[in-house]
Homo-oligomer: A and B are copies of this chain.
Amino acid sequence: MGETGAGARTPVVAGVPGPVEVVGVGLLGASIGLACRRAGLEVLLRDVNDDHVRTASGLGAGRAVRPDDVPALVVVAVPPDHLAAEVGRALDRVRDVPGAVVTDVGSVKSGPLNALAAHPGLGRYVGGHPMAGSERSGPLAATAALFDGRPWAVTPHPSSAPDATAVVEALALLCGGVPVRLTPDEHDQAVARTSHVPHLLASVVAARLAEAPGSHLALSGQGVRDVTRVAAGDPALYGQIVSANADAVVALLGEVRADLDRVIAAVAGADRPALEEVLGRGAAGTRAIPGKHGGPARPVLTVHVSVPDHPGELARLFADAGRSGVNIEDVRIDHDPGRPVGLVELVVEEVGAEHLRGSLESRGWLTHR
């Protein structure tokens, strides 16, 4: 099939045919528009909210769609509750356009697909889900860099046309993402495990803090802050996302509850081996998360540095760390109640840690491992 139809009408850039129509011009939609425009593709913007179209247009993400426009690729970027309906409408619009493709960026894949099972032309639809976002929403927060280096799930279904799948993978690459091909079911199970269930458990742990006396919370360290951070997200949005993936989430939560029951019985019954068994599986799980840049996790060490908490000191620290030539993999600043000195943790590859420490000490920094 190839790109004959669309290719004959408009330029194909790096495997992505234009014009590209974006439906739903929020953070993700407008960011995709910016990335496509950057590559030289024509972008058509559609949203029930005219302000969003005007804002995104002003940022250079494309122009308002017109009734006679004929898109070669439609990207649906609306909230989960509206996804299936908008994908269906997009399929109808491009029904007579040879080679046209419809994709989406929704966070759940099976439910919308099942809702569309009998829809004509479904072979031209291939789902997508970039693992990117921001605390902010709306087109004003958009940027073409949003997808840089992020995984972008591409989820063809059994009747998806192979050339349509290739177009969606090309879109992911053109936006700077890293395509990860999964079936819709695999995707939903994966995000249940790596996103939805962790979020729900973080919420349940954080709910315990809402009830606690302030003097108890004074003992909060970095650990509880990390465990609960994602729980700060908008309850209505996460309610919508989790509900759309109910089957996979409920199955995993059942496993969580079984392990939680094991922990409760082990702690209450002073069964140390049973408790350590669950803790041991947890430790193994943290090692299973892939390392930075997709490779296997490399051994790292943390170098702790005491840093006065005022402007310029972090700059001085990173300048001195840069001079050591050791690449910094991760940085954390510990929140320490009570005094204006911060503890900065520099995570570096194991082989460079001692050199970095020595280098910083020689420049007057107080380090501890």
Which residues of chain A have a CB within 8 Å of any CB of chain B? 131, 134-136, 141-143, 145-146, 148-151, 153, 176-178, 180, 182, 186-187, 189-191, 193-195, 197-210, 212-221, 223-236, 238-240, 242-243, 246, 249-250, 252-257, 259-261, 263-264, 267-268, 270, 272, 275-276, 278-294, 302, 304, 306, 309-333, 335-343, 366, 368-369
Contacts and interface: CB of A to CB of B under 8 A. Distances in A.
* Number of identical monomers bound together in the oligomeric complex: 2
A274 B185 CA distance: 26
A191 B219 contact: yes
B215 A190 contact: yes
Contact of A233 (B131, B249, B283): B283
Contacts of A240: 272
B239 A368 contact: no
A243 B187 CA distance: 38
Contacts of A177: 338
A150 to B, nearest CB: 6
Task: Give chain A's interface secondary structure class.
Answer: helix
Contacts of A236: 276
Given A151-B337, A314-B328, A217 B282 contact: no
B228 A289 contact: yes
Contacts of A341: 148-149
Contacts of A148: 306, 336, 339, 341, 343
B326 A311 contact: yes
A243 B227 contact: no
Nearest to A335: B292
15 contacts: A136-B369, A153-B219, A178-B337, A178-B338, A189-B216, A193-B209, A195-B224, A206-B282, A207-B284, A210-B281, A235-B282, A239-B279, A246-B270, A257-B261, A311-B325
B336 A206 contact: no
A19 B279 CA distance: 40
Given A216-B194, A276-B236, A276-B239, A225 B293 contact: no
Contacts of A221: 131, 150-151, 194-195
